[in-house]
Chain A
């Protein structure tokens, strides 16, 4: 085979593979969009589901999802950042640190349904918190923790040596270097990590189905139970209660996650250009 032909074939294969990825994504989005767009309206978003067929809106499920996500974010962010600062800046690099890092990576790959089961056993039952926003947020935080911790660690490590040295050179103590130079310089990437982990939490189903409950309820305190959008979607579709409303919920969920991802990109970009 002539080398130009080989080149052409290789290029075509690469191109097809790349296009395929886009096509798959496009198909999924288009399918949900076509089926769900008819449902979307202010009433759908801002009213309660009614009757056995869950007609009407999905407002309490949206609130439950946002509530639990925000709560999980509040729990995760300080712990993840402190752990990452310790790993990247203070810990003596060696076996212990690589073990912690490996544990974090493994934690990130634990199937979420296992995490849900664990949350049920630990928070809902053993700790006696019951089905609630708090139980769900704690279980979700296990999922988010490694994501935020690892992105933060990478962000901290990518701060150039020159920034650190400049700070030390002005008579900064180690903590001053970390808190006033390194963390501010890595903040855009840290926030991006938090946003991405939050997007993951919004779409999570398995964890919350075990820990938040299923009753449609407007959560006020962290000890209230509720039904998040993903669980609502699952029940509507699996039990054939109201398929159009399921698509509407799915579309709204996708829009929310897309908004999170775009927000993360926008944030990174805005901070990259000076």
Chain B
């Protein structure tokens, strides 16, 4: 496996700190006692078998789970030291700071331009500034060359991989500090996967990225840190088994269960 060339410094600050997080869907206890610190301007991968709660955990960071009735989070998650579940925190503001990319590319059924301008317009940014934001965002998502002459075309007319980069551009347009990526490459072709992985490498100079992936090679390729989640028995809450620098996880895991998973003994 190949790993990233420039490791993040040991004393890099934590952007997000999770302490003793438990998460519930109604009566179902999905995650238990998760404690983890996400380093700023690094890529952190969440790996683990299907149904182990990695996506659920990811959606805690921008409180997207609030949209699912009957869910509840206990414990604390802080962003730059501020508790995001504290009373008085508006999830709408939080989601502006923490963007999200989904498994299924989800451009809105409108033009490429309007897709990228969507977030800035929500904040009331005026037309004069929009052109520049749209161009910069598409450039940062490595999609400008392909789309600069077809900005008026419907976003759904793009290929799957381009659609996913459009969604990244759309998130970048609101200048988030963190980008959550929920299996962003599982529904697109291999060439596009390569482009998105390269893109993550470029973006992490400016933003903190957390990616959920089923693909261990991908986790090894793109991430600086890896967290391994596991639900040991069906119906039980998932736990964070091990969290470390990515090369350590893949070459010298400390926990037997991590080793079994990455060597393909289950999952």
Chain A residues packing against B (C-beta within 8 Å) = 160, 162-173, 176, 180-181, 184-185, 274
| A172-B108 in contact (CB<8A) | no
A168 and B64 in contact (CB under 8 A), knowing A180-B122, A185-B109? yes
- Beyond the given pairs A163-B109, A169-B102, 11 more chain A to chain B contacts, judged by CB atoms under 8 angstroms and listed by A's residue number, are A162-B104, A163-B106, A168-B67, A169-B62, A169-B64, A170-B96, A171-B123, A173-B92, A185-B109, A274-B154, A274-B156
Which residues of B sit under 8 angstroms from A163, Cβ to Cβ? 106, 108-109
| B118-A274 in contact (CB<8A) | no
Interface residues of B in 79-105 (CB under 8 A from A): 92-93, 95-96, 99-100, 102, 104
| B119-A171 in contact (CB<8A) | yes
- C-alpha spacing A170/B102, complex, angstroms: 12
A168 and B156 in contact (CB under 8 A), knowing A162-B104, A162-B106, A185-B109? no
- C-alpha spacing A242/B171, complex, angstroms: 68
- C-alpha spacing A45/B30, complex, angstroms: 70
Which residues of B sit under 8 angstroms from A167, Cβ to Cβ? 108, 118
Shortest distance between the CB of A175 and any CB in chain B (Å) = 11
Query: Closest residue to B100 on the A side, CB-wise?
Result: A169
- C-alpha spacing A165/B66, complex, angstroms: 11
Shortest distance between the CB of B208 and any CB in chain A (Å) = 16
- C-alpha spacing A165/B122, complex, angstroms: 15
| B122-A169 in contact (CB<8A) | no
Interface size on B, residues (CB 8 A): 28
Query: Closest residue to B119 on the A side, CB-wise?
Result: A170
Q: Is B174 an interface residue (CB 8 A)?
A: yes
Query: Closest residue to B62 on the A side, CB-wise?
Result: A169
Which residues of A sit under 8 angstroms from B102, Cβ to Cβ? 162, 165-166, 169
Q: Is B12 an interface residue (CB 8 A)?
A: no
| B171-A171 in contact (CB<8A) | no
| B171-A169 in contact (CB<8A) | yes
Query: Closest residue to A169 on the B side, CB-wise?
Result: B100
Which residues of A sit under 8 angstroms from B64, Cβ to Cβ? 165, 168-169
A165 and B106 in contact (CB under 8 A), knowing A170-B119, A170-B174? yes
Shortest distance between the CB of B98 and any CB in chain A (Å) = 9
A184 and B109 in contact (CB under 8 A), knowing A169-B62, A170-B122, A274-B156? yes
Which residues of A sit under 8 angstroms from B16, Cβ to Cβ? none
Which residues of B sit under 8 angstroms from A164, Cβ to Cβ? 67
| B108-A181 in contact (CB<8A) | yes
Shortest distance between the CB of B251 and any CB in chain A (Å) = 35
| B110-A172 in contact (CB<8A) | no
- C-alpha spacing A168/B156, complex, angstroms: 19
Nearest first, the 3 A-B pairs at minimum CB distance are A171-B96, A162-B106, A170-B119
Which residues of B sit under 8 angstroms from A166, Cβ to Cβ? 102, 106-108, 167, 170
| A180-B174 in contact (CB<8A) | no
Which residues of A sit under 8 angstroms from B106, Cβ to Cβ? 160, 162-163, 165-166
Shortest distance between the CB of A188 and any CB in chain B (Å) = 9
Q: Is B157 an interface residue (CB 8 A)?
A: yes
Shortest distance between the CB of A177 and any CB in chain B (Å) = 10
Instruction: Please list 27 pairs of residues, one from A and one from B, whose beta carbons are closer than 8 Å in the complex, sorted by A's number.
Output: A162-B102, A162-B104, A164-B67, A165-B64, A165-B100, A166-B106, A166-B107, A166-B108, A166-B167, A166-B170, A167-B108, A169-B62, A169-B99, A169-B100, A170-B96, A170-B122, A170-B170, A170-B171, A171-B95, A171-B96, A171-B119, A172-B92, A173-B92, A184-B108, A184-B110, A274-B109, A274-B154
Which residues of A sit under 8 angstroms from B107, Cβ to Cβ? 166
- C-alpha spacing A165/B64, complex, angstroms: 8
Which residues of A sit under 8 angstroms from B93, Cβ to Cβ? 171
Query: Closest residue to A174 on the B side, CB-wise?
Result: B92
Query: Closest residue to B120 on the A side, CB-wise?
Result: A170
Shortest distance between the CB of A149 and any CB in chain B (Å) = 23
A170 and B95 in contact (CB under 8 A), knowing A162-B106, A176-B122? yes
- C-alpha spacing A171/B121, complex, angstroms: 11
Shortest distance between the CB of B157 and any CB in chain A (Å) = 5
Query: Closest residue to B158 on the A side, CB-wise?
Result: A274
- C-alpha spacing A213/B61, complex, angstroms: 64
Query: Closest residue to A160 on the B side, CB-wise?
Result: B106
Query: Closest residue to B154 on the A side, CB-wise?
Result: A274
Which residues of B sit under 8 angstroms from A171, Cβ to Cβ? 92-93, 95-96, 119, 122-123, 174
